[in-house]
Structure 1
Amino acid sequence: MKHASPLPPSLIQRYHGWKATTYAQNAAWYRRLAAEGQRPRAMIIACCDSRVHVTSIFGAEQGEFFIHRNIAGLVPSHDPGAGQHGTSAAVEYAVTGLHVSQIIVVGHSRCGGVAACAEMCEGAAPELDDDDSYVGRWMDILRPGYESVKDLDLAIRPTALEKRAVLVSLENLMTFPFVAAAVEAGDLALHGLWNDISSGVLEAYDPAADAFVAL
């Protein structure tokens, strides 16, 4: 493929550093993972944002989480006719193939995708309304969430929409028949989290209080 380029030397150097330290110290564990396959206890759905590092937040080891990342950490509703869909495929594999017992949706502060959705809904980002905008069509998932927070004070609206994105994803997860069946059977639990990347605070959605509560 003529358009592929060699890896930058800085990344090659960092790889060799990892191989000589982290890998060397845990080589037996890596070989076991390779031989026995993965058995993650949970699936995490999070944003692509480089500032959000879910394995670090939970101190997770390799093989512990099945992780899917996309813009704003959104889950679309069940739609078999939608064609190719990475997020839906990842959810299906996690639940029906890996039999995870938990799905954790993680939102975060200063989310660019969520901010873009707000701008699109407010008419401030016409380029996202273009049918050819992958980001715009993806953020359509959150349009109903925007409607529920649009009348809030501007100072709290961004955070409210970030948290609403988590709830929209949880609601959409339950539209997948295999997710709903696993939840109703007690084999699967759904969790919603929001991370403040500045303070390190992690909040969990409490359905009894209908609010996110700091852990």
Structure 2
Amino acid sequence: MHNAKPLPTYLVQRFQGWKATSYAENSAWYRRLASEGQHPRAMIISCCDSRVHVTSIFGADTGEFFIHRNIANLVPPYKPDGQQHGTSAAVEYAVTALKVAHVIVMGHSSCGGVKGCLDMCSGNAPQLEEKSSFVGRWMDILRPGYDRVVERKPDDMARALEKESVLVSLENLMTFPFVRAAVESQDLSIHGLWHDIGSGSLECYDPKANGYVVV
């Protein structure tokens, strides 16, 4: 592969700093993780957004979370069509192989993916309507959520759709037979969160309240 380049100097320096400090101080733990494999308690599905750092938010140690990130923290509906499905594969592995106890979907404020969906569905982003747009076709998953938000006519459409993206993903999770079976047997619980980047607050969806409550 002739196009690959050496790692940027600043990343090399950061790695060397980590190896000399954090790794050196916890080398026995890392060797144990390597030899015994991973046993995470929870899977977290979050956005690719660089401002969302779930391990920092929850103070998680290495090996504690099985993390999958994608645009707008979406889970597609169950569709075993023989095609490549990265998110569906991650969910399958977490639930059937790792036997996680929790699957957490976490949305966030100022989500660019959700804004793109809002623009696309409003007719203001024709480039995302193109069949060749990977982002546009991925955001099609959120169209049912957009329709529900439009019916409610909230003052802040973007924020409402950010929170709706979490609910769409939770609904789609339950279309996976192995997820539904694990939930019904009480071996698995699913959770929906929304994080405000600026204030640092966290809200959790509560079915009893039919909305989000502050954690």
Tell me the TM-score normalised to structure 2 length.
0.98
Which residue number in structure 2 is paired with residue 18 of structure 1? 18
Equivalent position SS for 2:81: helix
Which residue number in structure 1 is paired with residue 124 of structure 2? 124
Equivalent position SS for 1:80: coil
Equivalent position SS for 2:76: coil
Q: Does 1:148 align with 2:148?
A: yes
Percent identical among aligned pairs is 67
Between stretches 97-106 and 148-157, larger displacement belongs to 148-157
Which residue number in structure 2 is paired with residue 133 of structure 1? 133
Contact map agreement 2:104 2:193 (CA 8 A) in 1: yes
Q: Does 1:8 align with 2:8?
A: yes
* d(CA) in 2 for partners of 1:126, 1:192: 31
1:35-184 correspondence runs (5 A): 35-81=35-81, 83-153=83-153, 155-184=155-184
* d(CA) in 1 for partners of 2:195, 2:125: 26
CA RMSD of aligned residues (A): 0.9
Deviation at 1:157, TM superposition (A): 1.1
Equivalent position SS for 1:138: helix
* d(CA) in 2 for partners of 1:111, 1:150: 18
* d(CA) in 2 for partners of 1:82, 1:138: 17
| 121 and 82 in structure 1: CA distance in 2 versus 1, 3 angstrom threshold | farther
Deviation at 1:152, TM superposition (A): 4.6
Equivalent position SS for 1:52: coil
Deviation at 1:155, TM superposition (A): 3.7
* d(CA) in 2 for partners of 1:161, 1:195: 13
Tell me the TM-score normalised to structure 1 length.
0.98
- How many matched pairs? 215
Between stretches 81-90 and 36-45, larger displacement belongs to 81-90
Equivalent position SS for 2:63: coil
- Residue type of the partner of 1:168? V
**1:37-58 C-alpha deviation (Å, 9 max, x unpaired):** 0000000000000000000000
Which residue number in structure 2 is paired with residue 187 of structure 1? 187
Name stretches of at least 5 consecutive residues in structure 1 with no aligned partner. none
**1:55-98 C-alpha deviation (Å, 9 max, x unpaired):** 00000000000000000000000000161000000000000000
* d(CA) in 1 for partners of 2:29, 2:151: 52
* d(CA) in 1 for partners of 2:145, 2:151: 12
**1:76-124 C-alpha deviation (Å, 9 max, x unpaired):** 0000016100000000000000000100000000000000000000000
Deviation at 1:156, TM superposition (A): 1.5
Deviation at 1:154, TM superposition (A): 6.2
Equivalent position SS for 1:106: strand
**1:15-34 C-alpha deviation (Å, 9 max, x unpaired):** 10010111111111000000
Contact map agreement 2:154 2:160 (CA 8 A) in 1: no
Contact map agreement 2:196 2:202 (CA 8 A) in 1: yes
**1:5-24 C-alpha deviation (Å, 9 max, x unpaired):** 11111110111001011111
